[in-house]
């Protein structure tokens, strides 16, 4: 342990800890802009400069290791003056347009200004466009991600999250030097023309409004306000274990009831559960796996519910397309079931024969789901996709006191009933575990095989493996970088019968549309909450869902039937 003093307080931290860690340990706040606990620190914003006894120049607390006997001052008048000048410099390059910004109220730069009662002169001089007009500052080409580089504070976190420290997609990198430095895309292309997989990890770490999800919430709110259409919303498994963070709840709090209640207050006529469709996905995909296991073709089967992963295969490895499960993702399945089955017909004669359609919205922890909803062949089943963050914005915009709402509300039927197997879709390894539960049942092994597959759980980036008696060896790739590494070899071809890939580390609960967090344990907390929901679920296997069984019996002729394939399966583009 290392002993030091911070602002006169005695601090004790582990060897290797930084001055920022030491300050946190004794409750001293140091402002930061470019720091994120899960990414390498580059100390570019200089906001965290502190004075160190015996050292002439102030040092960045985020990268300076604490040494025994250090005497640290974090808030002298000189430091305060410097932070004010530094902020002034940032604002001179940042549009004065907070009122219209998508992250208004959730921006770290705005917080810095708000924390101190500085009399700041906000004179904005657009940069880049003067000296380097070739860099387009605003890019709305992607269905999932919007860029506005005029708001960028050059922290570099997006390049880290997309590159070596995260997704290893290297879509974003820096161009120019000095005050003209900008994070641009490969060859400065519009994002839609790059190999971006729409995972949104860059938006998750952007401290300002330079990278955001393509916003749909204004249109959704407007459509609900008009009350001109019957509306239905579905909510992803990973949203309920994270949305509470936006309202000051402890990370890992499950707020399903409050979320449903808030959706009703926003004006949705039906509040359904994506988990219902996740159970249907399990039925279809487990049946598909067992069919493929009768032969040798297109094995291993790859899961396909993660659109970031599907994008990656289509962009980089079209040779793998035959291995992807053709089963639609739960989002798309739910959309098809809502718009094109007995539910719609039951809404009334004006909905018969497709004359009118309900307005269908999904709430997802994922930015790539916006892109998925527009895929050729399946577009139209979901009208708009909101991220978890966008739903929180809508709730705040309507002044709904989320945390004070009753947690008693529950999903509507028939598209709202689900099992624990569906809930664990939120976590890396969960889709595979849910599949194994039902595949084992269909094979008649469910009395002998375990329900829980702990080898496939956990947040650590990499590959998880399990040998499943009667089925074969399966793998889980936690994050697109892990999948990319595995697929660069040939060993996977004969090693596994099925492989789950989730583009974001942790699975959907680490998705690019989830609340932004600088808690280094955030994934563990959301994951514990997810498995706890499964543990107490009255039914824990997809094939036990009574409404799913009823759907197959009354409308679909069973899993993988001609009707089921027409409604619930898709294809991919080479
Ligand atoms: Fe996911 Fe899925 S689990 S992809 O992570 O298969 O986004 O939560 O909704 O579709 O169910 C996301 C989560 C989600 C789908 C399901
Ligand atoms: Fe990179 Fe993902 Fe952002 Fe695209 S969405 S730029 S792949 S981090």
**Confidence bin at 128 (pLDDT 50/70/90):** low
Q: CA geometry: angle at 96 spanning 92 and 97, to 5°?
A: 150
Percent of the chain's residues with pLDDT above 70: 98
The reported pLDDT for the residue numbered 446 is 77
Query: Per residue in 197-243, pLDDT tens?
Result: 999 999 999 999 999 999 999 999 999 999 999 999 999 999 999 99
Query: Per residue in 517-563, pLDDT tens?
Result: 999 999 999 999 999 999 999 999 999 999 999 999 999 999 999 99
Torsion sign over Cα 194, 195, 197, 201: negative
How far, in Å, are 62, 193, 441, 442 from residue 451 at the CA level? 44, 43, 10, 14
Residue with tokens 């699975």: 507
420 or 574, greater pLDDT:
420
Instruction: Say if residues 289 and 324 touch (Cβ distance below 8 Å).
Output: no
Distance CA 515, CA 113 (A): 22
Please name the residue whose Cα sits nearest to atom 2 of ligand 2: 199
Could you tell which of 303, 305, 478, 510 is best to mutate to test the pocket of ligand 1, judged by most ligand atoms within 8 Å of the CB? Answer: 305
The overall average pLDDT reported for the chain is 94
Q: CA geometry: angle at 116 spanning 115 and 122, to 5°?
A: 105
Q: State the ligand closest to the CA atom of 202.
A: 2
Query: Per residue in 453-505, pLDDT tens?
Result: 999 999 999 999 999 999 999 999 999 999 999 999 999 999 999 999 999 99
Ligand 1 atom nearest to CA at 365 = 7
How far, in Å, are 104, 119, 513, 541, 546 from residue 552 at the CA level? 46, 66, 32, 16, 10
Lowest mean pLDDT among 122-126, 294-298, 454-458: 122-126
The reported pLDDT for the residue numbered 127 is 67
Instruction: Say if residues 243 and 255 touch (Cβ distance below 8 Å).
Output: yes
Task: Please give the full DSSP string across 293-323, using - where no structure is assigned.
Answer: HTSSTT-SEEP---HHHHHHHHHH-GGGGGG
How far, in Å, are 280, 339, 340, 385, 525 from residue 354 at the CA level? 23, 9, 8, 22, 43
Distance CA 172, CA 182 (A): 10
The reported pLDDT for the residue numbered 118 is 67
Ligand 2 pocket, residues with Cβ under 6 angstroms: 145, 161-162, 167, 169, 171-172, 196-202
**Does residue 129 surpass a pLDDT of 60?**
no
Distance CA 286, CA 296 (A): 16
Ligand 1 atom nearest to CA at 369 = 7
Query: Per residue in 316-333, pLDDT tens?
Result: 999 999 999 999 999 999
Tell me how far the alpha carbon of residue 155 lies from the centroid of ligand 2, in angstroms. 16
Distance CA 246, CA 516 (A): 9
The reported pLDDT for the residue numbered 134 is 67
**Does residue 130 surpass a pLDDT of 60?**
no
Distance CA 531, CA 537 (A): 10
The reported pLDDT for the residue numbered 160 is 97
Instruction: Say if residues 353 and 339 touch (Cβ distance below 8 Å).
Output: no
Distance CA 236, CA 382 (A): 13
Could you tell which of 161, 191, 196 is best to mutate to test the pocket of ligand 2, judged by most ligand atoms within 8 Å of the CB? Answer: 196
Q: What 8-state DSSP symbol labels residue 496? A: -
Q: Most confidently modeled of 79-88, 169-178, 367-376?
A: 367-376
């Amino acid at each position: 342990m290392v002993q030091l003093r911070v602002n006169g307080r005695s601090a004790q931290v582990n060897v290797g800890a930084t001055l920022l860690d030491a300050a946190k340990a004794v409750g001293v706040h140091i402002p930061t802009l470019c720091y994120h606990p899960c990414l390498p620190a580059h100390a570019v914003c200089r906001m965290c400069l502190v004075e160190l006894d015996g050292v002439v120049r102030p040092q960045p607390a985020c990268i300076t290791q604490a040494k025994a006997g250090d005497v640290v001052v974090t808030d002298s008048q000189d430091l305060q003056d410097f932070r004010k000048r530094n902020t002034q410099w940032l604002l001179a390059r940042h549009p004065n347009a907070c009122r219209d910004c998508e992250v208004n109220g959730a921006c770290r730069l705005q917080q810095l200004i708000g924390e101190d009662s500085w009399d700041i002169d906000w004179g904005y001089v657009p940069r880049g466009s003067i000296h380097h007009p070739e860099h387009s500052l605003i890019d709305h080409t992607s269905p999932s991600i919007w860029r506005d580089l005029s708001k960028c504070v050059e922290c570099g976190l997006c390049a880290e999250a997309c590159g070596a420290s995260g997704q290893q997609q290297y879509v974003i990198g820096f161009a120019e030097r000095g005050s003209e430095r900008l994070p641009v895309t490969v060859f400065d292309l519009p994002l839609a023309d790059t190999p971006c997989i729409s995972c949104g990890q860059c938006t998750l770490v952007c401290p300002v409004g330079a990278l955001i999800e393509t916003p749909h919430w204004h249109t959704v709110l407007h459509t609900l306000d008009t009350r001109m259409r019957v509306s239905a919303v579905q909510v992803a498994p990973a949203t309920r274990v994270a949305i509470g963070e936006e309202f000051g709840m402890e990370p890992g709090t499950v707020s399903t009831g409050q979320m449903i209640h808030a959706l009703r207050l926003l004006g949705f006529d039906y509040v359904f559960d994506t988990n219902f469709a996740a159970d249907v996905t399990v039925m279809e995909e487990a049946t598909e796996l067992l069919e493929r296991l009768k032969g040798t073709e297109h094995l291993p089967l790859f899961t396909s519910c993660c659109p970031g992963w599907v994008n990656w295969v289509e962009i980089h490895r079209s040779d793998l397309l035959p291995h992807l499960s053709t089963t639609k993702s739960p989002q798309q399945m739910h959309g098809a079931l809502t718009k094109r089955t007995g539910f719609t017909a039951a809404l009334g004669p004006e909905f018969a024969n497709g004359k009118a359609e309900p307005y269908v919205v999904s709430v997802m922890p994922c930015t790539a789901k916006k892109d998925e909803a527009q895929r050729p062949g399946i577009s139209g089943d979901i009208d708009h996709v909101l991220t978890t963050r966008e739903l929180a914005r809508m709730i705040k915009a309507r002044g709904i006191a989320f945390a004070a709402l009753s947690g008693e509300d529950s999903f509507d039927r028939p598209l709202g009933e689900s099992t624990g197997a569906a809930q664990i879709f939120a976590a890396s390894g969960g889709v595979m575990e849910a599949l194994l539960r039902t595949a084992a049942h269909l094979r008649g092994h469910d009395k002998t095989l375990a329900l829980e597959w702990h080898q496939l759980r956990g947040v650590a980036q990499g590959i998880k493996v399990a040998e499943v008696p009667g089925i074969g060896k399966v793998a889980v790739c936690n994050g697109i970088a892990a999948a990319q590494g595995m697929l660069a070899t040939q060993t996977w071809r004969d090693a596994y019968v099925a492989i789950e890939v989730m583009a974001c580390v942790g699975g959907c609960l680490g998705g690019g549309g989830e609340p932004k967090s600088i808690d280094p344990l955030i994934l563990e907390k959301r994951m514990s909450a997810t498995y706890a929901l499964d543990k107490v679920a009255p039914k824990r296997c997809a094939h036990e869902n009574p409404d799913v069984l009823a759907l197959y019996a009354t409308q679909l002729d069973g899993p993988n039937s001609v009707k089921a394939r027409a409604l619930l399966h898709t294809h991919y583009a080479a």
